[in-house]
Amino acid sequence: MTQEDINDTIADHAHSAKCAIAAGFDGVEIQGGNGYLIEQFLNSNVNNSRKDAYGGPIENRARLALEILEAVSTAIGADRVGVRISPFNYHQMPEGHADPVPDFTWLLSKVDKLGLAYVSMMEPRSEPFVMSEAERLALQYGAALARGVPEDRLEDEVSVRPFRRALKHTVMFSSGGFNAENCSEPVDNGELDGIVFGRPFISNPDLVERLRNGWPLAPWDRKTFYTEGPAGYVDYPIWEASSASAASGDGRELSPILLRRARAIAADHQQLSASNAETYDVAVAKKIGELGPIVTALKEWEDAQSALKELENMLHDPSSDAELRTLAEQDIESITSQLTALFSRLKSSLIPAHPFASMPCMIEIHPGAGGSEASLFAQSLLNMYTNLCARKRWPTTLASYTPDDSTHETGLTDALLEINHPGSYDVLRTEAGVHRVQRVPATEKKGRTHTSAVSVMVLPNLPDSSDPASELDYENPDSDYYINPTEVKSQATKSSGAGGQHVNKTESAIRLTHIPTNTVVLVQEERSQHKNRDKAWRLLRAKIAQMRREAREEEIVRIRRSAMGGVARTGREDKIRTYNFSQRRVTDHRSGVDSSDLDGILGGGDSLEEVMGSVREWMDEGEIRGLVAEEEMKIAEKTGNGKK
C-alpha cells in the first residue's frame, strides 16, 4: 500500500462510521484482529516487512491502527467506537505474532488515551485446542522464558488478562472459549469488564435468558455459517424446558406432575388427620397445619373445575333454553377468571416455606470493588432499606455502623440493620447478593462512568434465648442453630466505634470466630461487654444457620440440575441488580425487570417493592420448575428410566 492508499483507507473508515450512525446504529467496532488489514500491519512475523513509517518497531506497525481509531473517533465521537484485537491469532495467522505481550501492551497503552467505548480482546483459544494451536502456544512460552518472564507468570503469555493492566480508563471485554460455567468468574473477580459471545448467540437467540437460568445451550451448525438463506441463522428456537412448560398454565389445566404432587399431599394430609384424631401428637399436628393450605387450594381449584365443566355441558346441551345458556355464559366468564387466581394460589401453596420466612431479619451491608464510590453507594442502600421499613412501619435498629472516613461525603465501610418485624426475612431475602452501581463520580474530571459494587446479606434475626420446643433449639446438635462453644474463639477488644468517652478505654467490643468456617463477627455498639457478647452470638448463630441452609439449597440445586439442565438461583456472590445513574435506570438481573424510577427505588418507594415483587415471582417460578424436575426424576426412577 502506498501512502495515498493508507490515507484513503483511513478516510474510508471515518466515512463508513458516519454512515453507520446516520443509519441508526449506536456505534461501530473497528476490526483490528482476525487477520484483517490492521492486524496484518501489526504482525512483524510475516505480513509487515515495510521499511517506512508503518514498519519495523511496534511504534510504527501500530501507526495505522491508531490513525484509523483517531479518525473514526473524530468523525462520530470516541464513546461510540470500540476496537477488536487478537494478540494470539493462530487461526488466520498460523505463524502468530513474534512478541504479542509487549507489542499489544504498548498498543493498548496508546488506545487507552483515546477514550474509546471499549476494547474487545480475543482469547488465545476460541475452541478446545487443536494440536497445532497447542504447539504454537508452547513456543510462546519459550519466547517468554527467553525474555526473562518468571515461571509463575508464564500463564500470562497465553492470556489476555495482562492487557487489562494496560487499560486504566477503558473497559475490556473478552471472547473465545467462554460458556455458562466459566463466563461469570473473570468478570466477578475484576479480571474483565464483560464477556462477548459469538457463535453461541447464533444458535441461542435467547442466550441471555439461558445463561441467567442455567438452561442448556443449543449447539451451532458450522456448515451453515457461510451459506445463503435463513438456515442456521434465524431458525433456531428459543428454549422451552419441559419442566418450565409443565409448570405453566392458564388456570384451566394444571400440569399433571403438579396435580399428582398436590393430590399426594392431600392424601397424606387425610391420613395424618385420621391418625392424629386417635392419638394426638404435636409434631404431627404441626405437619397437618403446614399441609392445610395445599389441601384447601387444591379443593377450591378442583371445585371450580367441576363447576366449569357443568356450565360448559349446559351451554352445549341442545335442550337448554336460551336464558339458561345466557346465564351459563356469564358464569363461565366469572369462573374462568377465578380459576386463574386459584391456579396461582395452588402453585404458590406447593412451594415449601423458607425455614426463616416468619422471622425478623438483619441486613448486613459491605462495600466491594470501587473504593470510595462503593462506600457512598453502600450508604445509599442503607438509606433505601431504612426508608422502605419506615414506609411499612417496621421498627428498625442500626445495630452496627462504621463510617468511611476517607470520603468527603457520607459513606460506610460496614453496617448491620436489624428489622424487628416478623416475616421481614421472607420479604427482604430478594435483596441478598451484589448490587452494582454505574455513575460518574463527583471527582471524575473526564466524565467517565465508574462501576462499583456493594454486597448485601440478609440474615434471620434470631431470638436471644433457645426454644427447645421449636426448631430454634440452640442446644440440639442436629439443629441448624446449634454452635459448639468449643469451636468458637472469643476476644474482647477496645471499641473503635460509637460510645463517647468509653471508646478505646474499655474492652467492651466482642469478636467471635467460628473456627471450622472461619466466620468472624465483631460487635462494639454497646458500652456493655455483656450486651455486645449476646449480640455477637446472635449474629454468629444467624450466619452459621444461613450457611447451613445455603449448603442444603446447593445440594437441591445440584440434584435438580441433573434433572432439568439448570435452575434459577443466585448466591450471595452473584450480581443481582444494577443501578445506572446516567440512564436513570435500575435493572434486576434475575427477573429481568427494568425500572426508570431510580430515585423512587433508592428512596425505598413503591418502585422498589415492585422490583422485589418481580424477583419473588422469579424465585417462585424457579421453585416450581424445580418441583416439577424432582417429580419427573421420581417417576423416571420408579419406571427404571432414571438414575438411582
The answer to whether residue 36 is catalytic is yes
Using an 8 Å Cβ cutoff, are 482 and 475 in contact? yes
- Under DSSP, the state recorded for 371 is T
C-alpha cell at 342: 386459584
CA-to-CA separations, 103 to 144, 149, 187, in angstroms, rounded: 13, 15, 25
Q: Which amino acid is at 63?
A: R
CA distance 61 to 52: 10
Q: What is the pLDDT of residues 160-202, one digit of tens each?
A: 777 888 888 899 998 877 777 677 778 877 788 888 988 888 8
Cβ-based burial of 189 (10 A; exposed 0-12, middle 13-18, buried ≥19): exposed
Return the sign of the alpha-carbon dihedral for residues 86, 214, 423, 347. positive
Q: Which is the catalytic residue, given 36, 54, 141, 401?
A: 36
Residues 6+ apart with CB under 8 A from 116: 69, 73, 78, 79, 81, 82, 83, 170
The pLDDT value given to residue 239: 60
Q: pTM of this prediction?
A: 0.54
Q: What are phi and psi of 194, to 5 degrees?
A: -175, 165
The parts of the chain modelled with pLDDT lower than 50 are 126-135, 241-248, 497-503, 560-572, 641-644
The pLDDT value given to residue 317: 78
Q: Are strands 412-419 and 396-403 parallel, antiparallel or unpaired?
A: antiparallel
